[in-house]
Amino acid sequence: MEVKKLFAPVFVCLLALQVCVCVADTGRVRHPYLLGGLLSGKGAKEAYVGARLGSYKPDLRQLDALLRQFNVRLPGAATMLNVFVKFKGSPQLSYLVEAGYWEDEVSLEPVVSADLGTTFTQVSFDLLYYPEMIQELVPLYLGIGGGISHLKLSGSALTLLKDVVTERENTGLSGNFIVGLEYTIVERVMVSIQTNHIFKSFAVDEEGKQEFSFDGTVVSIGTSVRF
């Protein structure tokens, strides 16, 4: 089974594990935080609003193989902008709702007079975990999640691939695996350095039987403010 196909069951298992821990914790004096407090009726302890700017480079393996015969390079690394809201439910667990946008365009000249453009939009929900023992040394956090993404291919270069790529837009599920460092610079203001690997594939035919990879990694720096 491909790694990206494991994200849905793993994500559900993590949610279930958090619920089980909270239910088992009901005998203690403190109030249990179901899903970190978001579903307990108590709400999140803290909320942050922020933005992130980074570089995203997709790996279009199958499309790359098709265009290589024309000596054409695919869209490479380009700027990706993200805005997010983070809810801190407990010292070790946060929830991240994030929206990102990426676009790139390349020209196929002088090989052929054509161009290829790509836009990618993702809205995701992620669980962020802050390991207590590691936090004593470095402010590391790990995350896993998924969401809905939209991919659009455009440009005259698609006429070269009309027998293979018949679908130019695709909306579907995508997965995330996150590793980051988060620092408090002043009260209520935080800065983070984050690597987010996105698992995404898109159908290129009308029947949806043939899929191409759009996996890639975003390396970004962001800032957020606590309310």
Residues 37-51 have pLDDT tens digits of: 444 444 557 899 999
Please report, in angstroms and rounded to a whole number, the separation of the first and last CA atoms in the chain: 42
How do strand 46-58 and strand 189-199 relate by DSSP bridges? unpaired
Domain ranges of the chain: 44-226
Q: Which residues pair with 126 in a beta bridge?
A: 96, 145
Phi, psi of 111 (to 5 degrees): -65, -50
191 or 214: which carries more pLDDT confidence? 191
Nearest of 88, 153, 82 to residue 124 by alpha carbon: 82
How far apart CA 96 and CA 107 sit, in angstroms, is 36
**Is the pLDDT at 84 greater than 80, yes or no?**
yes
Banded model confidence at residue 29, pLDDT cuts 50, 70, 90: very low
Contact assessment for residue 90 and residue 36, using Cβ atoms and an 8 Å cutoff: yes
- The CATH number of the structural domain formed by 44-226 is 2.40.160.20
The tokens for 171 are: 């909306």
Tell me the three state secondary structure of residue 215.
coil
Q: What is the mean pLDDT of the chain?
A: 78
E strand map for 114-168: 115-129, 140-154
Nearest of 82, 172, 176 to residue 128 by alpha carbon: 176
Nearest of 172, 194, 181, 213 to residue 74 by alpha carbon: 213
Contact assessment for residue 224 and residue 192, using Cβ atoms and an 8 Å cutoff: yes
How far apart CA 88 and CA 96 sit, in angstroms, is 9
Place of tokens 């010292």: 91
pLDDT digits (tens, 9 = 90+) for 123-167: 999 999 999 888 889 999 999 999 999 998 888 777 777 767 777
How far apart CA 171 and CA 166 sit, in angstroms, is 15
Nearest of 191, 204, 194, 87 to residue 152 by alpha carbon: 204
**Is the pLDDT at 8 greater than 70, yes or no?**
no
CA distances from 88 to 18, 55, 124, 128, 144 (A): 14, 26, 16, 9, 15
The tokens for 41 are: 């009726």
The tokens for 88 are: 């801190």
Query: Which DSSP state fits 191?
Result: E
The tokens for 176 are: 């995330």
Report, as an integer, the average pLDDT of 91-112: 84
**Residue 112: predicted pLDDT:** 65
